[in-house]
A and B are shown apart, each in its own frame.
Chain A
Amino acid sequence: MSVGTEIKREAEENVEQPEAKKKRISNDDLFRRSTQFEIWSYTQESLDKTKRAANAAGAKIATQKFNETFETIEKEQPEVFQTHNETLNKDKLLTLLSFEEEAKYLNYYTQNIIPIAKFFKMPTQVKLTAVSFFRKFYLSNSVMQYHPKNIMYTSVFLAAKSENYFISIDSFIKALKDTEAKDILDLEFIILQSLQFTLLVHHAFRPLYGFFLDFQAVLLHPSPLMYDVSVNTLGSLYDKAKTWLNDNVVLSEVAFLFTPPQIALAAMYEVDKRITDRYLKRKFLKEHHELDAIKEEDSGVKKEDSEVIEKIESTESVENGEDKKDGENETANEHKEKSTVESQREQYETLVRTIRKCIKIAKQVQTSSREEVKEIDRKCFYALNPKRLIEKQVKKVTKEATTS
């Protein structure tokens, strides 16, 4: 059913004959219509494939450029190339970045966005959106086509505008070394194209705040469910979860693999598994929480990290859960009762698995040593500027020839 018809129904409900209960549009339905879901959500496999394709395409372009350059220079001084054919040959000189190297290099630059955003006192929102733009750009491009430095700056500049934190190009470049206004403005449009003209990014911080409020509603009202959990406990859980998001999630790829509410729950689960799990049980195994209190001890430990993982799935069942409850018939028979219990249990377990998977991926952020990045940086420079590479080699061999 289309989203548009829902309100019509709301407004006309009393006029039309009272048919079966109408399905309401949940936040999950809305999210599934967002460009973030439609264009920018991946499975681990499809994300890897996309990145590998970008790397391969970049390598192809860099190789082509290299070959052309090589042939031009060779034509200018064929004798040198003939005599030093051992060193001055295409296979030996061609410098490309492997998929792994490119990934490391991009991680390095992603990290650099954080101090830049901090320097300009940009809100978290801008920082996260800039990271998102930067990563999305390199899902269809390679550092062997576009050097990441100015792509990074431009991502920050465009993200600031998109998130209503306008900064003039003059004050922006004033703070940057060897970058001119033109470098950034020329790339702005290219980035916008790579983003497929989609600019709205949903981050985990807003749902995190929502969960902070809902944790209070569910765990503290009407009376506290856990003897040692107060508003202060939840406040500190919220703060720590924010820090965890900042430290882990910003640099990881989870934003492509999970929904913002899933990521937010992952942060809370990682910070305090006991409280978060209690909340989830209370929320999902609603009708049966008395029973659950008894089962609680053993259920948490049984099914550990099974590798099953679906693409973005049912976190929003938090909202769905509520809708469902409204739809339940009071006079449900026993059979139905049983299947409800089962499906609730299943939903809960899927969610916990998803959250755990999210945590695991978020923690996999790999950092590279300075030396390693330096080496990749050198390679990237030559991949982008084969002329410099070949000329340097030509100079080297001719110099060796004259000295010997």
Chain B
Amino acid sequence: MATTSTTTAKTVPDSIVQNKYSKDRKVGEGTYAVVYLGNQVSTKRRIAIKEIKTGIFKDGLDMSAIREVKYLQELKHPNVIELVDVFSTTNNLNLVLEFLPCDLEVLIKDTSIVFKSSDIKSWLLMTLRGIHHCHRNFILHRDLKPNNLLLAPDGQLKIADFGLARSLGNPNEDLSSNVVTRWYRSPELLFGARHYTGAVDIWSIGIIFAELMLRTPYLPGKDDVDQLDVTFRALGTPTEQIWPNVSSLPMYNALRVYPPPSRQELRNRFSAATEKALDLLISMTQLDPSRRCDSTQALLHEFFTENPRPTEPENLPKKKEKVKSEDELDESNKRRKI
């Protein structure tokens, strides 16, 4: 990281930045950052620069920005977004990220694209590899959803947005249960658990897996209460029998007790899934987090070795290259959360 190796606490003048990276155009603006597309001048590589505003918040550097820098500095993996560089300009913190033009949500919503089962397998595999790398570094992502799974031009899937991530494994530490976008939130989080593990990410991936097969969100709760209902209607209400001590969780409620779905019901719902695919889905969406598979078990699952083999990333479906006006491009980029 060349620009970060300055030994004194001096700000890099803007001109140097301009020499190293070009900021071509602004593609989005959020509460704490502005995102530009540009190029790394020396390599002509396309990059995105996330300019984090500092000095505008009452409490100094924003927590999401701190988390993002903290974790992305440590995670180098083909399936995790690459933090190319970090530098500072007058009063701003700049994260140089690899340029990722598309995300999985865009593809799921584009009904003109057909997903083959080998495509789904490939995306799932890449997601699991990425999260496995996070988990073995004791990092929880806590906000996995199709919109945070970005796609590189060569088809590689990259986990992005570490603004909610945190370290795992310090005993006796309370964690917040108010994490993960609602539809992808695991039952232990819905019940307000203060101690949880990488299983929350595995749940999210299970739900994304289901969404890839259904081409529509699997558990779209309208609000937090409805989320419990939607979740348990699909997967059964957790009881003490299948999840010991579940009733001691702070927000446990089992007002409506739904029976767990039969294998046949799941087969009907996921009509294109093979038996192995269903096995893996069931394993990733176990209500009891201790029964849910972890990333290693998921990666070793026979689903990945049975035919068809996962599609090579470069052959995966891509966003249709329509001739888009600049405005439309800006719109689609803006939708992506920053």
Q: Which residues of A contact B (CB under 8 A)?
A: 3-4, 7-8, 10-12, 14-15, 25, 30, 33-35, 57, 123, 125, 140-141, 146, 157-158, 161-162, 164, 166, 168-169, 184-185, 188-194, 196-200, 205-206, 209
Contacts and interface: CB of A to CB of B under 8 A. Distances in A.
B64 to A, nearest CB: 11
Q: Which of B70, B77, B296 has the most CB of A within 10 A?
A: B70
Interface of B: 1, 4-11, 54-55, 58-61, 63, 66, 69-71, 73-74, 76-79, 86, 88, 91, 93, 125, 128-129, 132-133, 136-137, 166-167, 169-171, 173, 296, 299-300, 304-305, 309
Contacts of A141: 8-9
A162 B173 CA distance: 14
A247 to B, nearest CB: 20
B contacts with A: majority SS: loop
Which interface residue of A34, A164, A206, A209 has the most chain B CB atoms within 10 A?
A: A164
B73 A10 contact: no
B131 to A, nearest CB: 10
Contacts of A140: 7-9
Contacts of A191: 9
Contact of A33 (B63, B76, B88, B171): B76
A158 B61 contact: yes
Contacts of B61: 158, 161, 188-189, 192
A7 B63 contact: no
A106 B79 CA distance: 42
23 contacts: A3-B77, A4-B78, A10-B299, A11-B299, A12-B304, A12-B305, A15-B305, A33-B74, A33-B76, A34-B74, A57-B8, A123-B173, A125-B173, A141-B8, A161-B60, A168-B58, A169-B59, A169-B60, A189-B91, A196-B1, A198-B73, A200-B73, A206-B170
Contact of A189 (B78, B88, B309): B88
Residue among A146, A158, A161 with max Cβ neighbours from chain B (10 Å)? A161
A64 to B, nearest CB: 14
A35 B74 contact: yes
A389 to B, nearest CB: 24
Contacts of A206: 169-170
Contact of A199 (B9, B69, B76, B300): B69
A35 B93 contact: no
Given A7-B299, A189-B93, A200-B73, A184 B9 contact: no
A14 B301 CA distance: 11
Given A196-B4, A199-B69, A7 B170 contact: no
Nearest to A188: B60
Contacts of A185: 55, 60
A11 B170 contact: no
B304 A11 contact: yes
Contacts of B88: 189, 192-193
A169 to B, nearest CB: 5
Contacts of B136: 25, 30
A199 B60 contact: no
A192 B79 CA distance: 27
Contacts of B170: 123, 125, 205-206
A161 B167 CA distance: 13
